[in-house]
Structure 1
Amino acid sequence: MFDSHAFFKQRFAAHLKETSRYLRYIFNGHIAFAMFFFVSAAAYYYQQWLTNLPEDFPTAWIVGITFGLLVSYSPVRTLLKEPDLVFLIAAENKMGSYFRDALIYSFVIQLYIILLAGAMFGPLYFASYPDRTGNVYLLTLLIVLIFKSGNLIANWWMLKIREPGTRQVDQAVRVLLNVAVFYFIVAGEMLWAGVTTVLFTLVFLYDLNVSRKQPGILWDLLVEKDQNRMQTFYRIANMFTDVPHLKNRVKGRHWLVALVSRVPFANRYTFDYLYRISFVRSGDYLGMYIRLIVIGGLFIYFVPNIWMKLLFALLFLYMSVFQMMTLYHHHRTVMWLDLYPVHAGVRRQSLLKLLLQLTFIQTVIFAVLFLVMQEWIGMLAVIIGGTAFNFLFIQGYVKKKLMA
């Protein structure tokens, strides 16, 4: 007899083994060092900033919007795969235990975000409302968990509806209500918090009523949602190690391709062209590069100490090189590259050249940011120090890593 609870445990064990293998590569020594540096520096300056917190600081809006978005984003991880569309449909009426376990698993793995947000906003909450006790904040976090479970169940019900527009409207309404509820709770407007909670309950019951009218489970939609989330995880893991399960996404970006693909027509520039095109069109390389520049720029702008600014500039240069060096293995499954009449050393040199160019652009952007802030010493230091760091790190560590 088919036991869906036992089947979920088997599927969960396989999923845990699969993800833990890549998590070991993601949270390696390099990332651990960067995370420790970020957390330590952020905690120090966060505490310093709270000592001079303005009285009119919009704490209620910031905490309310954050908690509202966190409880609204409650995806259901079913761990379903494509073959299940054939082999499990016949057992749909026996899958109740499986989907119950999937909902519990989805709730548990999303708790860490709530706990991190609660720990992060705790000092801000007490600095803004010193007259409130810790029990009040703990009660707020408990309400967050209740709304999190409610949104998770509502999302599961809405996954029985085929029309994406209906699901999007329902999601938008719940986002607005979630944000309103937590804004009023943090602001101390308990009457309005109660009113918006009643409205959320009505939407919740409406979702239940709509889901009961649906004929069955949309297996293809559940598989598609779960595969999309796994592909997102694989794309992140692919920045640290080879992921054979990754389905590479290719984007047009024709105007950007025309801009970066101007290289001389000669054998030694073959991989210059390939890596430039791959950087622009494949995966998330360009997006990651831009995000690191933006986040690094924000740290440089808001951190008050000039030496910490320089350290953050070097740290984000280091992270950019570390992330972009995976381009070397991006085409590992394409056997046609082995037929190119180009020496392997030319391939390595082309990637090293691209990394130097990308980090030089990033260094110039950081230097311009120092110039805007009128930090003349910082501008000179980031140009000289950043250029030296880029050259030594790329020609030293990265070159040896590619030759290994």
Structure 2
Amino acid sequence: MFDANELWKKRLGAHLKETGRYMRLIFNDHLAFALLFFIAAFAYFYQQWLENLPENFPVAWIMGIVLGLLVTHSQVRTLLQEADTVFLLPAEHKMGSYFRKAFWYSFFTQLYSLALGYAALSPLYLTAYSDRGGEWLIYLAVILIILKVWNLLLGWWLLKERDVQYRWMDTILRAVLNILIVCFFIQGDAILYVSMMTIILTGYFLLLYQVYRKKQGVAWDLLIEKEEASMQAFYRLANMFTDVPHLKKKAKKRHSLVRMLIQPVPFEQRETFTYLYRITFVRSSDYLGMYVRLLLIAAFFIFWIPIIWFKLVFALLFIYLSGFQLITLWNHHKTIDWLDLYPIPKEVRKRSLQQFLRFVMLIKTFILGFLMLWAASWQEMILFWALGGLFTLIFVNTYVKSRLERKRTI
């Protein structure tokens, strides 16, 4: 006898066990220390910045954009698997309770990220609108929760739509409406506009309900595709810290960047892995994006933090994070057997990875040094180059070397 509630319990338990195992590896001692330092320093400078908040700072628009986008991102996690298109299809008419539980699970998990954004922006709101009472924040929280439920329902109904462009247009429309509702409410003197945006969103909600309630059945292939994409995104994050056998690796061409990086590499046997690590870094969907994101975040803190020593510390922290997460290049091709056929000693491969990590960390040091020149002075730029170069050499020649020698943990 098929029991949808029992199926959901099994799927949820397996999902939490799988993600929990990788979360423990992600939040290891190194990252936990870096995050603790980052949060403490960010809170301190955030408070200092709020004390000198510019009079014309667009608080309403900043909060509207951040919270509106968090509300708009509303994907229902179904925890479906590829084989379900065969084995669960005959029981589709009994899956109602399963999908209802999936909806509320998605709501509460996404409410956590929304609550973090809300908590982070609340001090900004209280500083800019100190003349208002705390009840405005309560009203804002209620509005965000209602918008979140609406967006999850709209996103769920839209999964019956096969046209990708239409789904993108829906997402953009909902994002604009959510941002405007939050922004106009925060401004306080635009209640009329809030009411107008709410009426439009409600009308759009009812229109989609009338359209998609007539479409019977569940788009199993689309639900499974979305679920697999979500899990692969999580696996890509976890792969930065440990080997993930479930990860499906995708390569992107990026011919110009590949040519730029491999052109200086000599055509010699001992440079085989140097060539491989460089094209993997560029063509993989993980490493280059992570490297650029950390660079942009580091640049933000260099210009935002007023104290020069904290600028240096934060910049070094992001150089460390880049090097630490790129160590997983060692395992990127682990499942490809022909790498073991290369007549190249293991020590040459280790040395190639160390050289590549040294290269990318020094490049980031060089770029952040120039940003330090704009944010401070040429003395700080020279100082950062010296500190960044010294830190890179110590990190690669001690920590990375010891990690590569412990083959069991790599």
TM-score interval for Structure 1 and Structure 2 normalised by the shorter chain: over 0.9
Match of 1:110, SS? helix
1:171 Cα deviation from its structure 2 partner: 2.1
Matches within 5 A, 1:2-401: 2-188=2-188, 189-262=190-263, 263-401=265-403
1:14 Cα deviation from its structure 2 partner: 0.5
1:374 Cα deviation from its structure 2 partner: 4.5
Distance in 1 between residues matched to 2:293 and 2:60, nearest whole Å: 28
Match of 1:111, SS? helix
Q: Which moved more, 1:253-262 or 1:233-242?
A: 253-262
Report the residue type matching 2:171 in the other structure.
Q
TM-score normalised to structure 2 length: 0.97
Distance in 1 between residues matched to 2:173 and 2:360, nearest whole Å: 42
Distance in 2 between residues matched to 1:68 and 1:282, nearest whole Å: 31
- The superposition leaves residues 142-181 of structure 1 with CA deviations (integer Å, 9 ceiling, x where unpaired) of 1101110111011101111222222222222221111111
Distance in 1 between residues matched to 2:33 and 2:23, nearest whole Å: 15
Q: Percent of pairs identical after alignment? A: 51
- The superposition leaves residues 288-345 of structure 1 with CA deviations (integer Å, 9 ceiling, x where unpaired) of 1111111111111211101001101110111011011110111111111111111100
Q: Which moved more, 1:24-33 or 1:170-179?
A: 170-179
Q: Gapped runs of 5+ residues in structure 2? A: none
Report the residue type matching 1:276 in the other structure.
R
Distance in 2 between residues matched to 1:161 and 1:336, nearest whole Å: 43
1:213 Cα deviation from its structure 2 partner: 1.7
Deviating 4+ runs (over 4 angstroms): none
Report the residue type matching 2:370 in the other structure.
V
Distance in 1 between residues matched to 2:118 and 2:257, nearest whole Å: 41
Tell me if structure 2 keeps the 8 A contact 1:352–1:394.
Answer: yes
Match of 2:271, SS? helix
1:373 Cα deviation from its structure 2 partner: 3.1
Distance in 2 between residues matched to 1:118 and 1:278, nearest whole Å: 38
Distance in 2 between residues matched to 1:196 and 1:183, nearest whole Å: 11
Match of 2:300, SS? helix
Q: Gapped runs of 5+ residues in structure 1? A: none
1:3 Cα deviation from its structure 2 partner: 1.1
Tell me if structure 1 keeps the 8 A contact 2:308–2:376.
Answer: no
Report the residue type matching 2:152 in the other structure.
L
Q: Which moved more, 1:387-396 or 1:166-175?
A: 166-175
Report the residue type matching 1:310 in the other structure.
L
Question: Is the alpha carbon distance of 1:114 and 1:374 closer, same or farther for their aligned partners in structure 2, counting shifts above 3 Å?
Answer: closer
Distance in 1 between residues matched to 2:79 and 2:285, nearest whole Å: 23
Tell me if structure 1 keeps the 8 A contact 2:72–2:171.
Answer: yes
Report the residue type matching 1:241 in the other structure.
T
1:403 equivalent to 2:402? Answer no
Q: CA RMSD in A?
A: 1.1
TM-score normalised to structure 1 length: 0.98
Q: Which moved more, 1:373-382 or 1:308-317?
A: 373-382
